[in-house]
Every structure is written in C-alpha cells, then in structure tokens.
Amino acid sequence: MDVDHYAVLGLPSGEEGSKLSEKEISKAYRAKALELHPDKRPDDPNAHANFQILKSSYEILKDEKARKLFDDLLRVKREQHRRQSERDSKRQKMMMDLEARERSAFAPDPAAKELAEEEKIAKKLKEEIARIRAMHAKKGAPTTFPPKKETGGVGKNSDGDPGSTMDKERMLKVSWEKIGEDYTAEKLREMFSKFGEVEDVVIRHNKKKKGSAVIVMSSKDAAVASTRSVLGDLSNPLLVLPLQPVSSVEMPAAEKSPEHNRLNNLVGAGYQAFEDSILKKLQKAGEKQKQ
C-alpha cells in the first residue's frame, strides 16, 4: 500500500496516528473535504480524483477493523525501515552470515517472515476495502459515476435529442407539505432505492410551505414503479409525479379521454392546484388509517 490514509486527511501517521480518536478523524475529513471539493477547484482536472481518494481514505480509517489492519501494516513498515537504517555495511554482512547459519539450523528467515506478514496484512486490508465499497454500493451511495452525456440539467429542454427524453423519463418530481419532520436527500434516497438504484437526489430549497425535490432513477421501470406507491409518513405523504411521462404509442385523437386532455393541459397555477388537491387527499387517507 503506497497511500498513507492519515497523510491524505492531513493527520500525523505512525504511532501518533493510531492513537487518534474517531472524532478527530471525522473533523479532519470535513476540513479537507471543504478544501478539496471539486466545486471549489473548477480549474483542477484532478479535483474529482483527489476528492475520491480523500473519501476512500476516510472510509478506511472510519472502519474499526480496516483501520487496525492499516495500523498493523504501517507498524511492520516502520520496523523494517528502522532495522534497515540501523544496519551499516559491516553489520549487514554479519547479519547475513548469521541468518545463513540460522537457516542452515532450520531457523525461520526473519526477512521472509516479515514479507509474508506484510503480504497477509495487505491482502486483508484490500478485502476490507472491497467490503466497505460493496456495503456502500448496496446502500445506493456509489463512490464513482459512469461518464454520461450531458442532458442540460433538470428543467431544460433539448429538442430533437432522444437521449434527453430518455433521461427525463427516469426523473421524478416529488413534493410534500413542510409540516413536522422534513424530508432530506438521504431519506428520499433510502425510500426510493427499494424500486431500483437512485442516481441522484436534488432538493429544491425555497421559503414556501411546500418542499420539493427531483429524483433521478436508474431506469424508466424504476421510475414508473415509484409512482404507483404511497411513500413517506402517512401524516405527511409524498406526491410523486413523473417529470415526463414514459413514451408510449400515440393514441388516436378520438380515443383520448377528457381526463387525459385535462391533465395534459395543467400548467402553472393549475398544475400547482392539482398537486395540492392530491396531497390533501393523501393526508386525509393517512389520518383515517391512524384513527
């Protein structure tokens, strides 16, 4: 392992680092995260990679088992370095002769034993890192994002671009009344992850009495499944609507129902009133279930 995870967080390494508390490590991570966040380094092409290294080092030091293995690895390396620096040419020759005699007497080779111990600890540390990454991947918190085509952001149209329509069909508009405990991005991600992987959650901050967010699902099927369930606290349920309905075969004009045309024509204040009416119905249903 060439990365000193303590040094990445700006902390002292070695024996002093192993004595640091979890609170001190978390405090150092927050300070470094503010310094290395890609939003604060728009001109640095390596900003994203450096920030991912910082997050990976913090996850290792935060995990008790992984941190102990890393401290053991550093201890072995320090002992190796100390022994190597103490040996001069004459002592090194004497040690080599002594080790040769010990090997001939069936004694274990200290250098081989140290190397085996180092490889064993390094292997265990790699396994712990893989376990931590897998655990976070299951929670819907991937540390890396696959490159994808820019869609122009939420609310911007890209006429004639099929990829833009496909992305919007995976987006959901979620709204709720700001009463009681508010919904956070982490809580929304957890709720919607049962329908599929959640790629992103964007909370829209405003001073109104209603909260809203845009949620990007990994697939259209996951987005459709999300709109078919009642989510959130029954006293303050979530109103989940597709940002853009999933594409389907166009119906003949004669077969379209008046209700279909009425919903398609809801814009501006009319769409807002439509949302409010559905939220009130959901809240009344939740109150009846509690009684």
Q: Both 10 and 70 in a single domain?
A: yes
Give residue 90's pLDDT band: very low, low, confident or very high (50, 70, 90).
confident
Strand partners, 108: none
Q: How many residues does the chain have?
A: 291
Q: Both 120 and 69 in a single domain?
A: no
The region that residue 153 occupies, defined by phi over 0 for left and psi between -120 and 50 for alpha, beta otherwise, is left
Encoding tokens for residue 191?
């709720």
Q: Both 187 and 229 in a single domain?
A: yes
What is the span of the domain harbouring residue 237? 171-242
Average pLDDT over residues 157-175: 65
44 located within any domain: yes
Half-sphere exposure of 22 (CA within 13 A, CB side): 8
pLDDT digits (tens, 9 = 90+) for 107-161: 667 788 888 999 999 999 889 899 888 888 887 655 554 554 444 444 444 444 4
CATH of the domain at 232: 3.30.70.330
151 located within any domain: no
Q: Is the pTM of this model over 0.85?
A: no
93 located within any domain: no
88 located within any domain: no
Q: Does the pLDDT of residue 202 top 70, yes or no?
A: yes
Q: Does the pLDDT of residue 1 top 60, yes or no?
A: no
Residue 11 · residue 25 · CB < 8 Å: yes
Q: Both 181 and 220 in a single domain?
A: yes
274 located within any domain: no
CATH of the domain at 56: 1.10.287.110
Q: Domain total for the chain? A: 3
Average pLDDT over residues 256-277: 55
Which of 52-66, 135-149, 164-178 shows the lowest mean pLDDT across its residues?
Answer: 135-149
Q: Both 73 and 127 in a single domain?
A: no
Residue 213 · residue 204 · CB < 8 Å: yes
pLDDT digits (tens, 9 = 90+) for 225-257: 888 776 777 777 888 888 776 554 444 444 445
Give residue 15's pLDDT band: very low, low, confident or very high (50, 70, 90).
confident
Q: Both 61 and 116 in a single domain?
A: no
pLDDT digits (tens, 9 = 90+) for 27-39: 989 998 888 898 8
Q: Both 76 and 113 in a single domain?
A: no
Encoding tokens for residue 139?
């929670």
Write down the pLDDT at residue 120: 92
Q: Both 73 and 117 in a single domain?
A: no
CA–CA gap between residue 71 and residue 169 (Å, rounded): 48
Q: Both 175 and 129 in a single domain?
A: no
From the CA atom positions of the chain, what is the Rg in Å? 29
User: Read out DSSP for 77-111?
Assistant: HHHHHHHHHH--HHHHHHHHHHHHHHHHTTPPPHH
216 located within any domain: yes
Domain boundary among 60, 80, 100: 80
Q: Which of 212-221, 239-248, 267-276 is predicted most confidently?
A: 212-221
| CA dist list (Å): 190 to 119, 140, 193, 206 | 38, 8, 5, 23
Q: Both 9 and 74 in a single domain?
A: yes
Which position has the higher pLDDT, 166 or 189?
Answer: 189
Write down the pLDDT at residue 249: 42
Write down the pLDDT at residue 247: 59
Write down the pLDDT at residue 27: 93
Which position has the higher pLDDT, 48 or 270?
Answer: 48
Residue 59 · residue 136 · CB < 8 Å: yes
Q: Both 14 and 68 in a single domain?
A: yes
Q: Both 113 and 62 in a single domain?
A: no
Closest listed residue to residue 238, CA positions, set 180, 183, 190:
183
145 located within any domain: no
269 located within any domain: no
